[in-house]
Chains A and B, each alone.
Chain A
């Protein structure tokens, strides 16, 4: 296990369609985060899991967004009824449960809604 893996790397979808992204964290990391990055901006926090529990959701995470981490391992992020404003890079990160530890990021899924 060499790092955080995200799939797919790129996704083009039509407005109104549903999309799902997958993140496989570093295996011993029990903390998992999703971030969204738009062009010219830094990543913005979306949601956080500790093991299988979703403990925090940003106000950026509208009702059309849902995230799961069913067995405390991989996570999925689903966007329903996509809008053009959802076009962004979606980044997953994971970390150990240690105060001050750094998060390791995947390469991201770039979503384009047309």
Chain B
């Protein structure tokens, strides 16, 4: 069965410092991996995805993520954190739905990022 683990419930970082939010996955076959961000009482906003190609993918708001097949990881990174980056971050793996070519997302439990001024 496919699964996603986010080992840290909470990550605190000072503004201006680099940040990393960790994600590991377990999936058969080639993974489609995603990061979403959720602000309080809001839906999820897409940040970036890895489907194939370059292991380093760049996304919205200066975020990037590195796909590491040998370590089955897809960590989210940003070189310089902003206070406005404080939010709940979800890693997800896309798994095939049994009917046809559509896929559903299996999410991790989320990591609360707090950027301190």
Interfacial chain B residues near A62, Cβ < 8 Å: none
Complex Cα–Cα for A99 and B106 (A): 16
Taking a contact as CB atoms under 8 Å apart, the answer to whether A48 and B102 are in contact is: yes
Query: Taking A43-B105, A50-B102 as contacts, is the C-beta distance between A55 and B97 under 8 angstroms?
Result: yes
B51 at the interface (CB under 8 A from A): yes
Q: Residues of A at under 8 Å CB distance from B?
A: 4, 6, 31, 33, 35, 40-45, 48, 50, 55-56, 91, 93, 97, 99-100, 102-108, 110
Q: Is A42's CB under 8 angstroms from B110's CB? A: yes
A25 smallest CB distance to B (angstroms): 13
- Known pairs A55-B97, A56-B104, A99-B101. 12 more at Cβ < 8 A? A4-B43, A6-B43, A42-B107, A43-B107, A48-B102, A55-B100, A56-B102, A105-B44, A105-B46, A106-B43, A107-B43, A108-B42
B74-117 interface with A by 8 A CB criterion? 90, 92, 94, 97-110
- Our pick among A40, A48, A106 for the contact of B104 (Cβ within 8 Å) is A48
A residues in contact with B99, CB < 8 Å: 55-56
- Please, how many angstroms separate the alpha-carbon atoms of A56 and B105 in the complex? 13
Shortest Cβ distance from A108 into B: residue = B43
- Tell me the complex Cα distance, A100–B36, Å: 15
B70 close to A (CB within 8 Å)? no
Q: Which residues of A contact B36 (CB under 8 A)?
A: 105
Taking a contact as CB atoms under 8 Å apart, the answer to whether A33 and B107 are in contact is no
Q: Is the CB of A43 within 8 A of B44?
A: yes
CB pair B43 A91 closer than 8 Å? yes
Cα of A104 to Cα of B32 in the assembled complex, Å: 16
The answer to whether the Cβ of B28 comes within 8 Å of any Cβ in the partner chain is no
